[in-house]
C-alpha cells in the first residue's frame, strides 16, 4: 500500500555533522525521485531530485544517492546546520504515472 517508505520518523544530529535520511520504495517502475523539505505551517518545497539513470546527484551541501538494486535512496546533508531542521519527504514517480508517491516524512533536528 505504502510504496514509498521512510522508516525513521525522526533524526537528531549535531551541528556540523552529517545528516543521513533514508527512503525505500517498492515499485520498480519508479524512475524519478525527489526530496522535499517542509517547515511548520508551510507547504513542502523542492530540495533535490535524481533520475534513475544516475546514482548520485549533488547540490551544495545536499547529495542524494540512489541504489536501484536495493530500491533505496538517501539524502546526505553535510555539514548540517540548525536551519536544516525540518521534515523531509521523499517522493517518487514513474513515466506513465500521474502522481507523486510520498513517504511519511522524517523530522530532522540539528542541534546547535
C-alpha cell at 79: 555539514
Which x/- pattern over 9-28 shows residues binding other proteins (rule: CB under 8 A)? Answer: --------------------
Closest CA to 12 of 87, 89, 109: 109
Binding segment for other proteins (CB under 8 A), chosen from 13-21, 61-69, 76-84, 99-107, is 99-107
Q: Quick one: which of 76, 97, 107, 109 contacts other proteins (CB under 8 A)?
A: 97
Distances (CA, A) of 79 to 38, 51, 76, 84, 112: 19, 24, 9, 10, 12
The CB-of-93 to other proteins minimum distance in angstroms stands at 4
A 10 A CB-CB count for 6 gives 19
Chain positions contacting other proteins, by CB under 8 A: 2, 4-6, 32, 34, 36, 41-46, 48-49, 89, 91, 93, 97-105
Amino acid at each position: 500500500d505504502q510504496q514509498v517508505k521512510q522508516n525513521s520518523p525522526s533524526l537528531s544530529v549535531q551541528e556540523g555533522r552529517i545528516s543521513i535520511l533514508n527512503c525505500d520504495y517498492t515499485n520498480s517502475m519508479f524512475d524519478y525521485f525527489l526530496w522535499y523539505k517542509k517547515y511548520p505551517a508551510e507547504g513542502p518545497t523542492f530540495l533535490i531530485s535524481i533520475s534513475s539513470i544516475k546514482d548520485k546527484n549533488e547540490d551544495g551541501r545536499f547529495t542524494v544517492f540512489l541504489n536501484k538494486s536495493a530500491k533505496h535512496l538517501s539524502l546526505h546533508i553535510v555539514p548540517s546546520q540548525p536551519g536544516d531542521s525540518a521534515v523531509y519527504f521523499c517522493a517518487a514517480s514513474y513515466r506513465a504515472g500521474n502522481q507523486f508517491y510520498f513517504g511519511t516524512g522524517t523530522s530532522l533536528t540539528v542541534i546547535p
